[in-house]
Amino acid sequence: MERARATKRRSREILAALRGGDHRLTRRMVAWDSAWARLVLPPVEEAAEHTKLWWAAAAIIAAVGGRRGRGAAAAGIASMAVAELLSNGVAKQLVERSRPPKEWIPHDDVEDRPDSSSFPSGHTAAAVAFTAAVASCRPWAGAACAVPAVLVALERVHSGAHYPSDVAAGAGVGLAAAALVRAVPRFLVRHLR
């Protein structure tokens, strides 16, 4: 009985430490004021809105990549759709988490934040899912997509829309979605023969 209480207490301490670190990192990132961040991150946010960036990347990959490029683009779009379903349609409905407090955010982006649950980051889930799926088919295209995917993740915290743990969870959802989209056709081929 005493051992169970000690384990429970230790678990609460670990969670409190993680939450504290998450909050400190969020405050530090939203306060990051550099010419580079002011120049690069707002256009990244605009391009990532409604997955426009990834649809454009898919069109380019399909146009220049031949048959394998079209397959990579299709896998990227399918993975992105699954990631958005899992993050926005499932996880955000199950986990109600408030966005970082407005008073932490020293810039104007605080007014543009969504009203939905902060956990997980759907933008990051879509970016990572698209990038991971494309990379598995066309590594050069995946490497090119990795740069804007990382910028999307940074922007989501810098704008005050998410905590770093939201972004990490979104990345996990994105990786899972890409793995699922890659595995399902193989599973079906193997079991429907």
**pLDDT of amino acid 86:** 96
**pLDDT of amino acid 112:** 67
Instruction: Output the 3-class SS for 48-113.
Output: HHHHHHHHHHHHHHHHHCHHHHHHHHHHHHHHHHHHHHHHHHHHHHHCCCCCCCHHHCCCHHHHHC
**pLDDT of amino acid 23:** 84
Mean pLDDT by 10 residues, the chain (193 residues): 81 83 84 82 84 93 91 95 95 91 75 80 96 94 94 90 94 96 76 67
The CATH number linked to 95 is 1.20.144
**pLDDT of amino acid 104:** 83
The residues, any chain, with a CB within 8 Å of residue 18's CB and separated by 6 or more, are 165
Domain residues for the domain of 158 are 2-191
**pLDDT of amino acid 94:** 93
**pLDDT of amino acid 110:** 63
**pLDDT of amino acid 91:** 93
Give the number of domains in the chain. Answer: 1
Segment holding 189, helix H or strand E: helix 164-191
**pLDDT of amino acid 111:** 65
**pLDDT of amino acid 49:** 84
Q: What backbone torsions phi and psi does residue 133 show, to the nearest 5 degrees? A: -65, -45
